[in-house]
Structure 1
Amino acid sequence: MNFKTLTALAIITASLPGQALAHSGNDHVHGVASGLLHPFSGVDHLLAMIAVGLIAGRLGGSALFRLPLAFVSAMVAGAAYVLTGVTVPLVEAAVITSVILLGAALIANANIPATLAITGAATFGFFHGFAHGTEGPAAAPLGHILGFIGGTVILHITGMTVWHALARRGTGPMPAHRIIGTGIIGAGIGLAFIA
């Protein structure tokens, strides 16, 4: 399956939760819509999820799929953990740390070992999922989870697409991914001071 086909399938799949729940009541639709928009509403989530896509594109091979899948799977686990009523300390600090470390991974000259990248993505995904889950509507938690899965997939694909565009364009003396990584680190540090 080529990258364009995969991108089209992912976008279609991301739009399905809203379509599937559209007939089942306003609370579910609101939950899906709020979940879909949630990853776009916070700079921390937005940057981390795009960075995961960029890193997956950089690593290529099976990591192109395994890295986002690890993030999304752990994100769902984190959101499900919220439903148990258990609290996790330092969630916001972990989310901001993930932004900084993902930016640093983009700057790193050597490729990151795929197993380390996948483990890191899963760890970060859990904390992002927990944050998403605590901020979702109480009336439709499952709709919210389905929605932010779709939003996250869109952002991962965006990162992968940007990486492939940069790779086709070639790089100058300061590769674009390092500039992007530096910007992500700067934003993460800025968020740490605001939080």
Structure 2
Amino acid sequence: MSFKTLTTLAIIPASFPGQALAHTGDDHAHGIANGFLHPFSGLDHPLAMIAVGLIAARLGGSALFRLPLAFVSAMVAGAAYAMIGVTVPLFETAIITSVLLLGAALIANANIPVTLAITGAATFGFFHGFAHGTESPAAAPLAHMLGFVGGTAILHITGIAACHALARHGTGTTMPALRIIGTGIMGAGIGLAFMA
């Protein structure tokens, strides 16, 4: 599947209004729709999730699936904590920090040990998941969770596909391009920090 096709598949559902993805009166469908759209809301979630995909593809090997899996698994745990009423202080600050650090990792282009990358992805995923969980509808919390897992997976795949597309379209251009993307992500994170 081409990068253009993957990007289109990622963007189209995000443009649908919530009512178009849910049946009126069906809490389960509404919960899935709201959950699916939540990772696309704002800048913090999509930037971090796409960055995880980019880094996973950049590292390659087992990191290609282990980073996104660590992020999503910890995200589900974070959401569960929020849903049962556990409080986590400064989680919004942690989310902005994740955007800054993921952008910095792309700029540095270091060969990060996979274990460290997985730990970072899981840590960031927990806080993003906690944010998702705080907005979970009481009527359909599991449906909401299922929805945001799907949305997050699409954003990770978008990052992976983008990195692979860069690698295919020119020898030696992948690393500078990832640094430029990382600079944009980090810059957006700085902007979010000032708006917070």
Question: Normalized against structure 2, the TM-score is what?
Answer: 0.85
CA distance in 2, matches of 1:74, 1:138: 21
CA distance in 2, matches of 1:146, 1:117: 25
Opposite residue 31 of structure 1, the aligned amino acid is G
Offset, 1:49: 0.2
The range that moved more, 138-147 or 184-193, is: 138-147
Q: Structure 1 residue runs of 4+, over 3 Å off? A: 171-174
Offset, 1:61: 0.3
Opposite residue 107 of structure 1, the aligned amino acid is I
Residues 1:172 and 1:139: Cα distance change in structure 2 (over 3 Å): same
CA distance in 2, matches of 1:77, 1:58: 26
Give the aligned partner of residue 178 of structure 2: 177
CA distance in 2, matches of 1:101, 1:147: 26
The range that moved more, 49-58 or 108-117, is: 108-117
CA distance in 1, matches of 2:144, 2:134: 10
Deviations 1:132-178 (A, max 9, x none): 11022222111100000000000000000000001112344971000
The range that moved more, 25-34 or 49-58, is: 25-34
Residues 1:174 and 1:80: Cα distance change in structure 2 (over 3 Å): closer
Q: How does 1:64-143 map to 2 (within 5 A)?
A: 64-143=64-143
The range that moved more, 80-89 or 149-158, is: 80-89
> Number of residue pairs matched?
179
Opposite residue 178 of structure 1, the aligned amino acid is R
Opposite residue 176 of structure 1, the aligned amino acid is A
CA distance in 2, matches of 1:189, 1:30: 33
Deviations 1:70-102 (A, max 9, x none): 000000000011122110000000000000000
Give the aligned partner of residue 42 of structure 1: 42
Offset, 1:110: 2.2
| Aligned-partner SS, 1:42 | coil
Q: How does 1:21-60 map to 2 (within 5 A)?
A: 26-60=26-60
Give the aligned partner of residue 188 of structure 2: 187
Offset, 1:43: 0.5
CA distance in 1, matches of 2:56, 2:174: 23
Question: Normalized against structure 1, the TM-score is what?
Answer: 0.86
Residues 1:172 and 1:164: Cα distance change in structure 2 (over 3 Å): closer
Give the aligned partner of residue 16 of structure 2: none
Opposite residue 34 of structure 1, the aligned amino acid is N
Give the aligned partner of residue 158 of structure 2: 158
Instruction: Give yes or no for contact 2:167–2:173 (8 Å, CA) kept in 1.
Output: no
